[in-house]
Structures are given as C-alpha cells and as structure tokens.
Structure 1
Amino acid sequence: MSADTTPSTAPPRPVILLTEGGTRQYSGVGRARAAAAIAVVSWALAVVAVVLMFVGRPVIDELLWFFVVDASVACVYGTVAAVTLSRRAHPVPWLLGLAAVGGGLAAFGYAYEVWSARPGGLEPNETLAMLQNTAWVPGTIALFLVVPWLVRDHPLGWEWLGVLAGSAVTTAITLAAVFEWEQILSLFRVSIGLGLLTAAVVELRHRFGPAEERNGLGWLALGTTILAVSFVPVVSPQTWLPFWTTPILHLVSQTIFPAAVLVAVLRNRMWGLRLVVSRAVLAGLLAAGLLGLYIVTTLVLTRLLPSSDGLAHLLAAGAVAVAVQPARLVAARRVHALVYGDATDPSRVVRRLGSQLVGSTSVEELLSGVTEDIGRSMRLESVTVDAEGIDPVRWGRPTEAPTSVDLRHRGERVGVIEVSPLPGEALSARDLTTLRDLSSVVAAAVAVARAGADLAEMRLRLAAARLEERRVLRREIHDGLGPSLAGIRLGLQGARNLLATDPEAGQVLLARLQDEVDAATNGVRSLSHHLLPPVLDELGLGAALTELAGRYDGSGLHVDVECDRLEGLDPQVAAAAYGIASEATTNVARHADATHCWISAVRHVDGFLLLVIADDGRGVSADVTPGVGSRSMRERAEEQGGSLDVRPRPGGGTEVHATIPLEVARA
C-alpha cells in the first residue's frame, strides 16, 4: 500500500496536553545544560570512585556490595535524569539527578576511605567518610516515596498528601543519618510502609487511571515495591532476608525503575532511545531472573542432595540453560509492552477499532471512536480523518504541521489520516509503520461510513421517487379516469331516460358510452403497463420492450428494438431497465418531435446491462432543467448501483445511456 508520509520538522515547543477538559500547558522542552551537568558530575564521581577502589584494593565484604550499588546509581540514574531532563523539564528528573549525585558522592566517600586506609594513602577525612552513609539517603528514599506520585501529566489532587508525606519522611531520614539519631530504624520502617502504599496507589492508577498515563505505571509500581522491600533487612537484621539482599534488590530495581520512569515521563516518545531501553531492560531482567533461578535452585538442591558433591550446581546450571529461551520470550513481550504500549501490538488496536465498527450507531460516532482509539493507543497529540464526501473528524488539536498517510480501500484512495505527536516529540519509523498498518482499518471504517451515508441518501431519494410516482398515479386517475367514469355515469342515466321515450336515441348514446368505456379501459391498461407490464414477468425484458414499441404503431413514431439474449435477468434489474426505457420513450414521443426511436439492450461481458434509447428528434438543450422523468430514470439506475447519462446523438437527436450491474440486486 502506497502512503504519503510527511514527518514534521518543526522545532521543539513547550509540552501541551490536550484533554476533554481543555488545554493545559506543562513545562518546556527541557534543560539541556542542567541535564549535561548532572550526567557529567554523577559519572565523574562514579569513575573517580571506581579508580580509587581499584587502587585501594578493598576487602571483599558486604560494604563492597553497597559501593557497587552507589556507583551504579550514579551512572544509571545520572543517565536517565540527563536524558529525561534534556527533553522535558519535569520534577522527576531533578529527583533522579539528586539520587545520581548522592550515589556518586557515597561511592566516592567509601572509595576515599578505602584508599586512605592503605599505607601511603591520603589522610583520612571524616567529612568525606561520612558521605558513604548520608549522601545516598535523600535521593534514594525520594525514589520510592516521592517520585511515583509525580509521574503524571494531570495536576495533583489529593495526591499532594502523598508527596508531602514522602518528602517529610525523606527529610527526616536524611537528618537522622547526618546526626546519627537512634530513631532512624523507626523512620526506615515508616518508609517501607509508605513505599508499599505508594506502590499500591501507582498500581491502581495503572489499572484505572487516565488511559494516556497508564503505560509504564505497572513497572513503576513493581520498582517502587522492590525498593521499599529492600530496606526490610536494614530495619530487622533477624529477618529471613540476609543483609546482602538490600544491595541485590537495589540492583534489580535499577533494571526496572529507570526504564519505567523514562517511558512514563516521556510518554513513549523516546526517539532512538527506545531500542536502547528495550534491550537494556531485557538484558537486566534476564540476568536478574536467571541469577535468582540459579541461586534458588542451588539452595534447594543442596538441601535435598547434601552429599551431591557439585551435582546441585550442575543441575542448577542446567535449569538456567533450559529456562533461557522461554524467559527471554516472556520478558521480551513484557518489555515491548513497557516501551511501546499498545503500539507494539497493532492487532490489539485493530480489535478495538473493529468493536467500533460493530457497536457504533451513527457515522459520526464510528469515525469519532476510531480517531480517539488511534490517538490514545499511539499517544498522539491529534488525529484527523479527512474522507471524501464526509466532514473531517478530529480528535485533539494539532499545534504543528501533521504527518499524513493515505487511506486506501480496495485500491481506491478514500481519504487521508493526519496525526501529530505530542509537542517537542517526533514520530519514529515504528510509529509510521504502525500507522500504515492501521490505515487499512481506518479506510474500511471510512468506506463503511461512506456506504452508510450513501444508503441514507439513497433511501431519501427512493422515498422521493415513490412519492412522485404516487403523485403521477393520483393525477392520472384524478384527471383522466375519474372524469371519464363520472361522464359515463351521467351518460348511463341519460340513456336510461331515453330508452323509455326514444329508444333509438338511447341506443346511439349507449354505443357512444361503450366507446368511452373502451378508452378508459385502454388508459388503465396503458398506465399499468407503464408501471410494470405482466409480460415482463412472463416472458422477460426483451418481450416487454417489444410490446412497448408496439404501443406506438400508428402514432407517427416508429420504435425499433434490438436485444440480445436477456434470459435469466434478475427481476429488479429487468424492472429498472424497463422503467428507464418506458420513461425515455415517453419523453421522445412527447418532447423530441422525432419520427424514429431505437431501443438497444445488450448484456455486456464485464457484468452489466447496457441500455441505450436514441431518437432522431431535435435534441435536448444544454440549459434545460431535468424534469421528473429524467430524475426518475437516473434514480432507477443508481438504485441498482448503475449510472445514467443523457447525451447528444451523432447526426441529431438524443441518446440515453444506462449501465446496470447484473449482480447488484443479488448481493
């Protein structure tokens, strides 16, 4: 399918969210300098810390795990904060930057302490050493107590309570860490409970919140839960979770949480980052999942096979090898749904569009539902369906030149669909591919809408034609048959009186009345034959046209009929053809001042009946307004899906050309 795609190249603008309630303007396109500063500082701290640790050659213990977490937080969240902040000035990337810089400072503080403990190292510094226990606190705690509340486009309502509570707990834990308060464990317990509550609220938003904000929230809820649970070993050393579980869970959360923030804050418009995020999350999930499977399997088999002498590890490795491919397939589907939303599965959107085709009660409702489904599924700013013969249907309001894709149905261009991404964003190649895939469904919807509009118009025209036919019948009966019967009734009364006094005059009057009855009978027969002669049903269209021509014998108009084999015609097709021929011949007799008329009916090889009525009369002037008869002929042809054309005849006169599909009435 060929499509005209014209991507927008307009410069970035402030983010504008268009909803049913109106237009709300949010923060601008980003803070490039601040984003670069966060990335440079966090990465520099992490690199320096790793170098110092390498030089210091630390003892491998639990604290080293926390160093790995702090360094990875600096790199991962520093990158995510920079990417997000450079594209959208939002509170969330600032908090991610705080976590990144805090993690870098904590890693640097621990590395400096390790290096200073070596012979010949730098002098110990209490302030720098304290960073490892305090610098990470505000950013990390805010990740699961404050950030999830702020990942939204709609203004905060009662959710401000969650932001205030999370900020208060974060501040309290930070002060407790700096001043070494004894209440810090109690504050951590509060943070765990509040974190789980925050995760539950995010999951509810994922299930029941605004459709345009749901993508990524499920993963954000999972990451928030992991971060909250990771502090359980800290507050309860006697728990069944070992102490090293905390850094492990922090590392696992870094596989999920940053990607969820990227998707949710940037609303699925990450340009080339999509592929990077997708592969990074997939790799992280596989690594974490397979490592967890290996550890759990090893622990279980070691208890079941205490004297296995390495057999437990071998069987665990085999279980991991077997689980690699199924785990990859499951994780890939989940990750694609995270990064691309509904756009990763066009069939899901097609099914929803199909429900619109079935459930809509009007053309406007059908196209409005289709445009809204595409806009919400692909997270667009606006969608416009502009179809020929139908008023344009719009969802949203574009703020820049849109991208257009042709709508084609059975090879015919039926319109165009125009879409525009959210301000400051762009459509990717995958978006355009999805849009082209959906355009065929939209084209079908447009075709259905056009067919519905044509059907409604045809019904109105058919009702008007039937009304006009009734008016003609009423006029013929009222002006023709009615006066004739009234005259005959009066004549019979006169003949009745004459028979008693002058029988001979009475007989003459009865003979005259008999002639009038014959004339009235012929008029009724002619009227009925004009509508639908019995011979049409009994012998077919050819015989009916021959009978039609015979009516004009002796009238001064000679009518010739030429027909090929017309047996087996659908009765509706035959009736329409006869009606056209009868009306056209009547027009010739009344208005053309012609001496010769030709009727030709030929079954064409392309599946239609070609009917031509020609005369040698004076022709039809170009400025003549078509009358009832002409409109009636055209409507008869169009009711069967055909067409009718009135044109000058070469050599003088007029030709009426009608084409009627032979199979339309059976469809």
Structure 2
Amino acid sequence: MRHAGRARGVAIGLAALAVVFELIDIWVTAQLPQPSYTPLPFAPEDVAGTAFSLFGAVLVHSRPRLVIGWLLVVGGLGSAANILAANLNLLIDGPPLHWPIVNVTWQVGQLTLGVLLPLLYPTGRLPARRWGWVAGLALAGIALDWAALSVRSHPLREAAHWTVAAAMGLAFVSLAVRFARGDAVERRQLLWLLVTLPGLLVPWMLGDPFWWLASLGIPLIPAAIAVAILRYRLFDIDTLISRALVGTGLLVMVGGVYLAAGAASSLLLSGVDRVAGLVAALFAGAFFQPMHRLFQRGVDRLLYGSTGDPDALAERLKLHLQLADPGHGLLATLEVLREGLSVTGVAVEVDDVTTVAGTLGVPARTVPLIRHGTPVGLLLVGPTERRRFPAAHDERVLATIAPFISDAAHAVRMTAALRHSRERIITAREEERRRLRRDLHDGLGQSLSGMAMSINAARLTLRDSPERAERLLTDLRAGMDTVTCDIRQLVYGLRPPALDELGLAGAVEELAGAPVETSGELTGLPAAVEVAAYRIVQEALTNARKHSGATRIDVMLRRVTGEAAEGGFTREAAGSGRGAVLRVGVADDGCGVPPDARAGVGLSSMRERAAELGGTCVVRPREGGGTVVQADLPL
C-alpha cells in the first residue's frame, strides 16, 4: 500500500508539472508572433502534454502497477517540456542552448507514446517476446540520432529518423496482430484506441496547414485509453462504430441523392425552383429507409460476418428446422445461435432437462422463452469466445431467433411428453397382462383345479356314501358360482359388459344414475373409443362424488364432425382437420380442483386413455364453480 501511495503521488506530481509547463508555454506563445497555419493560441503539443499527463495520472491512481498509465504520464511530460523548450528557443535571442533539451524531450515522447504505448497496450505486456526488438530498434535510432548530432551528419540523422519511424510503424502493426489474436474484451479495448487515432494521424499526414486540427483529436486518444482500461464495458464501442458508419454512409448517400435529384429537377423544372427543392427532398427521403437497411446489413457483415446478421440467421434457422426432426431441432437452433452471438456456448432448460451447444461455463445471460404466452423454458447464453468479436446487436439477434427457439423447445416438450405417454401406456398394458395372468393362475386356475378334485371325490363316494357325495356336489355348485363371478370380473376388467348390453349411452346413464345429454350417432363406435369414454366418465364420476362434494353432476356424450360445438360445456372447434370426434364431458358444481393440486393416478389415467387414441383430456374450472372434465376422442 505504501508503494502504491508513493506511485500515485509521483504520477500526480509529474502530471502537475506537465500542466505547469503548458501554462508557461501558453504565456511564451503569446509573446511570439501568431503562426499563420493555426487560429489557436496553443499548439497540438500543448494539448498532448496536458491530456496525456492527466489521463495517465488517472490510470496510475486506479492501477499503479499498470505500465500504460506511466507511459502516458511520461510521454505527456515529454511533450510539454518539448514544446516549452522549443518556444523558449524562439523567444530568447541568443545561442540555441535549449536544442539538446528539445531533442531529448522529443525522443522521450516518441519512445513512450509512439513505440512503447502501442507495443504494450492494453495489457502492459508485449504481444510476444519477439516484439521486444522493435523497442531495441527505436533505441538504436535514438542513439544514431545523437551520433549524427555529434558529427553533424545530416544524412546520418535522416537515417536515424527513418529508423525510429520504422519502429513506430511496426509498433502500430503489433496492434493489428494483438487484435487478431486477442479475446473479445481485448478487442474492445483496442477498438477504443483505433477509433480515435485518425484524429491525430489525418492532420499529421496533411501537414502544417491542417496540423492545428490535431488539437481537437489528441485529447480523445488518452481518454479512450483510460475508458478502455478502466471501464471497457461502459459503452459498446462496436455499436458506436456501427452507428457512425451507418450515419456517415446515409449522410453521403442522402446528400448525393438530394443533389442529383435537385440537379435533375432543376433541368426539368428550371422555372420552379421551390418545386425542384421539394421534389429533391422527397426523392432523398424516399430512399432513406431502404438505404438505412442496406448500410446496416453491410456494416453488420463487415463487423461480424454473415453469421451476425439477424436476417441471415433466421434463414439458417428455417433451413435447419426443416431438415431436423422435432427431437433434434432445438440443438440445431442452438448451434446457429452460438455462431451468431459468437459465444462459447448456449443452452436451453426445458422441464429440468438442459440441451447444450458448445461449452456453456457460467451463463452471462438468462432469457425466458415464451410461446403463445406460456413459458416453455430458459435460454442460457455463455460468455463471448476468443475467436472473434461478439455481436453488438445481441438484442436484435435474440429477438429474431427467440421465437424459433421457443417453438423448438415446445416441440421438445411435446416429443418428451409423447414418449413418456407411450412408455406409460406400454407399462400399463404390461401390468394389465401381468394382473390377468396372476388372476387366471392364482384365482381361476386354482378354483378349477379344486372343482376337478371335488368331482373326482364325489364320483368315488357316490355309491358308498351318497350323503357325503351330496355335500361335495353342493360345495362344487357354490364353487362354480364363485368361478362365474371371477370370470365376470375378469371380463368386466377387459370390457364392461354394460357396453354390449346397453350401448355407450345406456352404460354411461347406468354409471351416472341420471339422464345423459347425447348428440349425434353413438352406435357403431370403435370398441376402443367406447371403453375409453366409459372409463373416463367412470373416473370423473368417482372423483366428483368422493372429493368435490358436488350436489349435481352433468354428463355429456356428443359426436361432432368438425363444426363448432354449440352449447354444452364449451364452444370450440371440434375435430377440425381430424374428422369425427366423440366429445365426452363431465361437469359438477363442487369445490373444484385447487390450483396447486398435483395430478393423481385418476387424472393421469384419463389423460393417458385419451392420448392412447390420439385425443386429449382437459380438466379445468367450471364457470360459476366446480370442475369440467372434457375429452375429445378421434373416431
């Protein structure tokens, strides 16, 4: 902590010294003739000395061990001392005593800001060890420059200047290398610097008539460095670049269209200048929105490639969903989304089952998936990957793809529900077969074996003891009655006899103990449909009588053929696209089903019987109180 506090104090002191130098230089500059190439009372070097030193002190205060802040402080101090020494040389009429100071301070600025800063930014470390020779090249050029001054060799000094310039160029090349190899965060930090460099480089390349404009762009460079290192997540720099490019392109195109339309209309309507201007404005406005979409798509392709374009992603999703089966469509959508967002992985949680594409790690975002107002799962988005820059338009990508992912997640839920339903149906069928085997073997089989033994005993004792034979035959008759009841129960378990004796409507009326509302032709129905309808009504009546405390129970059987079902319990399109449907309804005026109630064996059994035939069974509250059980069984 002591060393950190001392380092902060030194940085603040150096920055304050640079500001003092700049204030003195402003006074010195005021004593000199105003240069013709600038309207400002100070030079770009003055701005550099102040801006780099102050922002460098801010960096050192926040992160004392990071060398970037020290480079800014020292480079800014060198710039301030350089411009002050140069102007003092011009102000003092005498031998150029200050030129060695001018040379040293200029070289300090070149080395720190022109070579070391781009080499070490933003991590404070070289991109690789082999880049260290670039700093050695710059030092060699500085040493060569001093040698040239000592021997007063102009060609040698030119060579020294070109050596240092080559080192500066290679240092800036290292930024491009670092950008290509860096992760998403490092790329954002580099973009903050790269987007502000034109404010310095363009006036420098244009020369003295425009060099003063660098005073406006130089402060942006240390400010961008400070923001990128301290708060690189404060803004999306790629979004800023995207909007800047789109805005510039629109300005140029709309201006060009306006000028072209104005020129054309002036030729055609030379006598009506106001109309010509109006026509040009309307013509340019008509092209604004199409050009905006065109530029936005082009910039998205430039920054993120084809995978980052929401429209291109939507097309890829459609193709993948068409080719994949419902069980694997979700994974296909996740692969497309992972590429589009350039993240390490994405996942979807559906009913406690997670489908992952890539390596998720710690989710950076959690997005709920909604389908027709119903939550179907959660989308988990992982952190950005190192391979390329992440899409700044995550929201646009997610908004475009989320409906597809929701549909795929819903398909996975339905596929899983169908699979589980089939498994339960198969399990129930095998359990029923096991029960029948056990009942036949342990009950009916044993009874028939005992009856056969009784017949043999009665036959043997018939002549010697007629009374004993009479008792045996009487017991045999009672046993036959028991066997008959057992067989009747087995048959009833397979198919209720009342269905064959009374028909579906009569059998249901017998169950309900009251008249049943019927509609349509109910004779000649498939046997499986009759049994399912009977069992569903039986289970619904049992639940209503045992649990609801109902005083009235209404039962409805209706055969519909695709038209809307009028009256009864619902008003819905029945069997649309499925042909004829048998609609079964049981409504009571009891206490209803609690919202947090879990489905028991009875409710699950009703749904499974309907699902086995490809139908549906819904249990819902009844208007005015009570419960409605409604099943649609395709015929």
Which TM-score bucket, shorter chain as reference?
A: 0.5 to 0.7
Aligned partners of 1:545 and 1:561 also within 8 Å? no
- In 2: Cα distance, 1:47 partner to 1:252 partner: 18
> 2:139 aligned with 1:171, yes or no?
yes
CA distance in 2, matches of 1:598, 1:411: 32
Counterpart Cα distance in 1 of 2:230 and 2:17? 23
Q: Which residue of 2 aligns with 1:549?
A: 508
Structure 2 residue aligned with 1:510? none
* 1:561 equivalenced with 2:505 (yes/no): no
Residues in 2 aligned to 1:209 and 1:228: alpha-carbon distance in whole angstroms: 24
Alignment pair present for 1:138 and 2:108:
yes
Partner of 1:268: 232
| 453 and 561 in structure 1: CA distance in 2 versus 1, 3 angstrom threshold | same
Aligned to 1:611: 585
- The number of residues matched between the two structures is 520
Q: Structure 1 residues 216, 572: closer, same or farther in 2, change over 3 A?
A: farther
Instruction: Find the partner of 2:74 among 98, 110, 115.
Output: 98
Aligned residues of 1:407 and 1:440 also touching (Cα < 8 A): no
Higher relative contact order (CA 8 A, sep 6+): 1
CA contact (8 A) 1:81 1:96 kept: yes
Shift of 1:170: 3.7
1:375–1:197 distance in 2 versus 1, CA, 3 Å:
same
Tell me if 1:56 matches 2:32: yes
User: Distance in 1 between the 2:104 and 2:601 partners?
Assistant: 93
- Superposition map of 1:66-145 within 5 A: 68-78=43-53, 80-82=55-57, 84-85=59-60, 87-89=62-64, 90-114=66-90, 116=91, 126=96, 128-145=98-115
Alignment map for 1:488-527 (pairs within 5 Å): none
Shift of 1:108: 1.0
Separation in structure 2 between the aligned mates of residue 58 and residue 91 of structure 1, nearest angstrom: 38
**Counterpart Cα distance in 2 of 1:206 and 1:626:** 58
Q: Indicate the residue corresponding to 1:452 in structure 2.
A: 412
Q: Distance in 1 between matches of 2:7 and 2:29?
A: 33
Match of 2:22 in 1: 46
How far 1:104 moved relative to its partner? 1.3
Query: 1:72 corresponds to which letter in structure 2?
Result: V
Q: Sort the Cα spacing of 1:520 and 1:133 in 2 relative to 1 into closer, same or farther, 3 A.
A: same
1:159 to 111, 124, 128: 128
Tell me the distance in 1 between the aligned counterparts of 2:531 and 2:396: 44
Change (3 A) 1:161 1:403: same
Q: Tell me, in whole angstroms, the C-alpha distance in 2 between the residues paired with 1:386 and 1:31.
A: 50
Q: CA deviation at 1:172?
A: 3.7
**Residues 91 and 526 from structure 1, CA distance in 2 versus in 1: closer, same or farther, beyond 3 angstroms?**
same
Q: Give the aligned residue type for 1:95.
A: L
Higher alpha-carbon deviation: 246-255 or 132-141: 246-255
Gaps of 5+ in 1: 1-13, 15-26, 117-121, 232-240, 290-321, 423-430, 492-514, 535-542
Deviation of 1:228 (Å) = 9.7
Change (3 A) 1:421 1:367: closer
Partner of 2:556: 600
The one-character-per-residue Cα deviations of 1:327-368 (angstroms, maximum 9, x if unpaired) are: xx99x989x99xxx98xx997699599969979969899889
CA deviations on 1:622-642 (whole Å, 9 max, x unpaired) are: xxx997555312445789676
Verify: 1:148 aligned to 2:118, yes or no.
Answer: yes
For residues 564-592 of structure 1, the C-alpha deviation after alignment (integer angstroms, 9 at most, x for no partner) is 6799xxx9999976652255468999999
Counterpart pick for 1:212 among 185, 188, 191: 185
1:441 deviation in Å? 6.5
Q: How does 1:67-466 map to 2 (within 5 A)?
A: 68-78=43-53, 80-82=55-57, 84-85=59-60, 87-89=62-64, 90-114=66-90, 116=91, 126=96, 128-153=98-123, 159-162=128-131, 164-177=132-145, 180=149, 183-215=156-188, 217=190, 220=193, 254=218, 258=222, 261-262=225-226, 264-266=228-230, 268-270=232-234, 449=409, 452=412, 455-456=415-416, 459-466=419-426
Give the Cα separation in 2 of the matches to 1:79 and 1:219.
Answer: 18
2:593 paired with 1:658: no
> Partner of 2:604 in structure 1?
631
Query: Residues 212, 591 of structure 1: CA spacing in aligned structure 2 closer, same or farther, 3 A cutoff?
Result: closer
What is the identity, as a one-letter code, of the residue corresponding to 1:605? R
Q: Classify the secondary structure of the residue corresponding to 2:517.
A: strand
User: How many Å apart are 1:144 and its aligned residue?
Assistant: 4.0
Q: CA deviation at 1:463?
A: 1.0
Which AA in structure 2 matches 1:549? V
Deviations 1:448-488 (A, max 9, x none): 65763575355224412332134324544774699989999
Give distance in 2, aligned partners of 1:254 and 1:352. Answer: 43
SS in 1 for 2:571: coil
The structural deviation recorded for 1:57 is 0.8
Assess if the C-alpha contact under 8 Å between 2:145 and 2:157 holds in 1.
yes
Identity of aligned residues (%): 18
Which AA in structure 2 matches 1:562? E
Residue matched to 2:274: none
Query: For the residues of structure 2 that align with 1:35 and 1:397, how far apart are their CA atoms?
Result: 38
- The letter for the 1-side match of 2:537 is A
Distance 1:627 1:252 in 2: 75
* Residues 139 and 447 (structure 1), Cα distance of their counterparts in 2 relative to 1, 3 Å cut: farther
Whether the aligned pair in 1 keeps the contact of 2:43 and 2:212 (CA below 8 Å) is no
Shift of 1:215: 2.4
Superposition TM-score, scaled by structure 1 size: 0.52
Q: Any conservation in 2 of the 1:644–1:659 contact (CA below 8 Å)?
A: yes
Secondary structure of the structure 2 residue equivalent to 1:472: helix
State the 1:191 CA deviation.
Answer: 3.7
SS in 2 for 1:215: helix
Cα-to-partner distance string for 1:8-40 (whole Å, 9 max, x where unaligned):
xxxxxx9xxxxxxxxxxxx99998766655654
Structure 2 contact 368–375 (Cα < 8 Å) conserved: yes
Comparing 70-79 with 257-266, which one deviates more in the overlay? 257-266
Check whether the contact 1:562–1:600 (CA below 8 A) recurs between aligned residues: yes
Q: Deviations over 1:79-124 (max 9, x none)?
A: 543554455553223212222221111111122122x2xxxxx575
Q: Is the 8 A contact 2:360 2:383 kept in 1?
A: no
Q: Which of 614, 619, 626 is matched with 1:644 structurally?
A: 619
Does the 8 A contact of 1:350 with 1:438 survive in 2? Answer: no
**What one-letter code is carried by the residue in structure 1 that aligns with 2:570?**
H
2:536 counterpart letter in structure 1: I
Sort the Cα spacing of 1:545 and 1:634 in 2 relative to 1 into closer, same or farther, 3 A: same
CA contact (8 A) 1:603 1:610 kept: no
Q: Return the alpha-carbon distance in structure 2 between the equivalents of residues 246 and 176 of structure 1.
A: 31
Q: Which amino acid aligns with 1:633?
A: M
Secondary structure (helix, strand or coil) at the match of 2:43 reads helix
